[in-house]
Amino acid sequence: MSNKSFLIKTFGCQMNDRDSEIMGQLLSEDGYIETSETDQADLIILNTCSIRAKAEQKVMSLLGVLRKHKKRNPKLIICVAGCVAQQEGQELIRRMPHVNLVVGTQNIYHIVQLINSLGKHEVATTLVDNYSIPAFIPNLKQHNVGGEPEIFRKFLTIMQGCNNYCSYCVVPFTRGREVSRSVSHIIEEAKSLIKGGVKEITLLGQNVNSYGQTNSVTEPAVPYSFAELLRAVAKIDGLKRLRFTTSNPKDLSDDLMSCFAEIDILCPQFHLPVQSGSNAILTAMHRRYTRELYLEKVTALRKYCPEIALTTDVIVGFPGETDADFEDTMSLLEEVQYHGSYSFKYSDRPGTRSADFENKVDEKIKSERLARFQKRQDEIGLAYNRGYVGKTIPVMIERNEFDKMVGRAETNHLVHFTDLSSCTVAGDIIDATVTHAGQHSLQGKLPGKD
Ligand code: SAH
Ligand code: SF4
Ligand code: F3S
């Protein structure tokens, strides 16, 4: 048992958010106390992301700052976890000798043992194929890392890793081979979250659509498709909202799409990363679907759920992307009309195939393409948001304190309230009439109020 304090700083995607919570809970159970003050922490964990060069640079510069803290407090333990840790391993300690512990993505469950038996340095970055994700019973009181008040809204990891090897992506190297968790572990974890007051669960994986299809070498494949898993989770008593992310379009089944027509609590929101509208670029990216197939899936999805809010990820300036290829991405944006998107300039990542491709696109052209894409996406997104004005929609309250009430629509829009409801607590679902639309959020009032 320890009475030391820890601070976890999380970068990257929701998988890292969830991993930070798990590390936080394990440390709390060992007696560690969470702090938000860098100066007070005995242990600082950076849970890192290496998806683009910029994400990695952020970690490196924060590590530079922490070097000074360590000089003032030599007993401070600095730990790097997550995708940069996995990728860099020993090299990280060579470059940053003030780092004490490097913990890979499959090793987070051993965080307490690693810290308690730490010498000067330790690197724990084993990444194996026959990996099974341990059962984990969340303790909501303890794992709320970052002091987030939203205990009614949680992520649940259903699979680790990725087998797709898109040519630009580090994830298969940082998270390993794709492994699906057992259905019983997932249901058990979901039940325990709901028992603790959670009302909304987001199922997480890099490619949830292939859940159950691939498994570790030693474990049999899970005899469940993702659609079946969704149905099973949706049946748990007390769950009010269900979401999932992320999906690779190539594995999007009709059965999964039909869930949107069938499961009441499945929120009408779908993140379906397209990356590019050009078939030549999609091939070079090794995405294994065509623009035409993608558009067919979008049409089918909207048949099952006409009001679905579609979002996507786009990479501009992939090696070899011509003006014509980029125009294909712009025309796809016009055809699909996304509610929103995340768009990025292509970034070379170590170990990926595209890092060795020729015909790299000039940074200036990448910036121009990104700005053009984002400007048009902003217009389309704002037009969608304006379409909600005057409508009454269910909103789950996230925060209701002092003079602020904020909630979330089923479509994932944040809704800021202009009036307050004194009898509403976080986690309640109330009807709100949308009064105003911003670029990234809506404004609402309680129905019947002026
Ligand atoms: N599993 C998800 C993506 C996870 S990474 C999927 O397959 O869709 C999140 C996003 O980061 C990707 O969708 C992609 O748009 C972007 N990304 C990944 N690698 C990148 C790179 N090397 N350069 C720029 N963007 C990248
Ligand atoms: Fe990366 Fe592709 Fe796997 Fe997504 S599907 S995590 S982009 S390799
Ligand atoms: Fe980043 Fe790793 Fe997630 S690279 S996006 S934290 S899987």
Residues having CB closer than 6 A to ligand 3 are 12-13, 15-16, 49-51, 82-83, 170-171, 174-175
Q: Which residues of the chain fall below pLDDT 70?
A: 1-2, 142-150, 214-222, 449-450
How far is it, in rounded angstroms, from Cα 410 to Cα 308?
Answer: 9
Question: 186: Cβ below 6 Å to ligand 1?
Answer: no
Contacts of 362 (CB under 8 A, 6+ apart): none
Rounded distance, CA 18 to CA 144, Å? 10
DSSP structural state of residue 251: G
What CA–CA distance (Å, rounded) separates 205 from 213? 13
Residue whose Cα lies nearest atom 1 of ligand 3: it is 49
pLDDT at 18: 92
3-state helix, strand, coil in the chain (%, to 5): 40, 20, 40
State the DSSP H helix or E strand holding residue 314, giving kind and residue range, or none if neither. strand 309-316
Question: Ligand 3 test: best mutation among 11, 15, 164, most atoms within 8 Å of CB?
Answer: 15
- Enter the CATH code of domain 392-445: 2.40.50
Ligand 2 mean position, distance from CA 346 (Å)? 14
- Among residues 29, 53, 31, which one has the least CA distance to residue 42? 31
pLDDT tens column, 326-375: 999 999 999 999 999 999 999 999 999 999 999 999 999 999 999 999 99
List the one residue out of 414, 243, 203, 340 whose CA is nearest residue 406. Answer: 414
- Gap from CA of 204 to ligand 3 centroid (Å): 12
pLDDT given at position 378? 97
Place of tokens 């969470």: 34
Please report, in angstroms and rounded to a whole number, the separation of the first and last CA atoms in the chain: 56
Query: Residue of the nearest CA to atom 4 in ligand 2?
Result: 206
pTM over 0.85? The answer is: yes
Residue with tokens 């570790």: 216
CATH class of 5-124: alpha beta
What is the rounded CA–CA span in Å between residue 378 and residue 369? 14
What is the side-by-side order of every strand in the sheet holding 153-157? 153-157, 200-204, 241-245
Atom of ligand 3 nearest to the CA of 47: 6
DSSP string, 406-428: EEEETTS-EEEESS--TT--TT-
Which secondary-structure segment (H or E) carries 86? helix 82-88
**What is the predicted pLDDT for the residue at 133?**
82
Question: Which pair of tokens denotes residue 14?
Answer: 């929701």
- Is there a contact between 137 and 189 (Cβ–Cβ < 8 Å)? yes
Note the CATH number of domain 150-267.
3.30.750.210
pLDDT at position 215 is: 61
Instruction: Determine the distance separating the centroid of ligand 3 and the alpha carbon of 180, expressed in angstroms.
Output: 18
- Listed by start position, the domains of the chain span 5-124, 150-267, 392-445
Measured CA to CA, the distance from residue 343 to residue 372 in angstroms comes to 11
Residue 130, pLDDT score? 76
- Please tell me the distance from the alpha carbon of residue 291 to that of residue 297, in angstroms, as a whole number: 10
How close is the Cα of 12 to the center of ligand 3, in Å? 5
Phi, psi of 75 (to 5 degrees): -80, -10
User: Could you tell me the distance, in angstroms and rounded to a whole number, from the CA of residue 273 to the centre of ligand 2?
Assistant: 10
Sequence-ordered list of residues with C-beta below 8 angstroms from that of 306, at least 6 positions apart, any chain: none
What is the token pair recorded at 83?
Answer: 């995708």
